[in-house]
Amino acid sequence: MAKTSKPKAPHAVLGWCEWVKFPEFGNVRIKAKTDTGAQTSALHAWKIKPFEKEGENWISFEIHPLQKSQKDKIRCEAKVTEIKVVKSSNGQKENRYTITTHVIIGPYEYPIDLTLTNRDEMGYRMLIGRAAIAGCFLVDCGHSYIQTG
């Protein structure tokens, strides 16, 4: 099936949990929780190291796609779009690197802004926040994997 951009009206429906892929990071599949309480999307990242490439700020990092496992790891690099202060659900503020990359959810592929943080203690390696779904998707909190089976 050919990938399309974000859906237009009528909105597509996401489950409270979906599988996502990142073509720029080897099409790795990660289980993501749809979190309408979070403005920004967050990806679990490990060994985050800033560096300069052609005069621009970049970061290298590892992602561990499987929850509660560090066995599989994928080394990634991305251009830093900004450093954002994010307030977590427990009220703590954290400076996070933000990157823009492409995400695939079911038949939809589009650019997404992600903050990188250690989500090891959290239930999911990724949160899909409001900014990534607003105006395009509705969330059915009673079902999971609507787009990704």
Q: Which residues of 69-86 are buried (b: 16+ CB within 10 A; e: fewer)?
A: eeeeeeebebebeeeeeb
Q: ∠ at Cα 113 (41, 63), nearest 5°? A: 70
* Domain 12-140 coded CATH 3.40.50.720: no
Computed over every residue of the chain, the mean pLDDT equals 88
Instruction: Kindly state the average pLDDT of the residues 112-140.
Output: 88
Considering only residues 86 and 115, tell me which one the structure prediction assigns the higher pLDDT.
115
pTM over cut 0.75? yes
DSSP states of 86-106 as a string?
EE-TTS-EEEEEEEEEEEEET
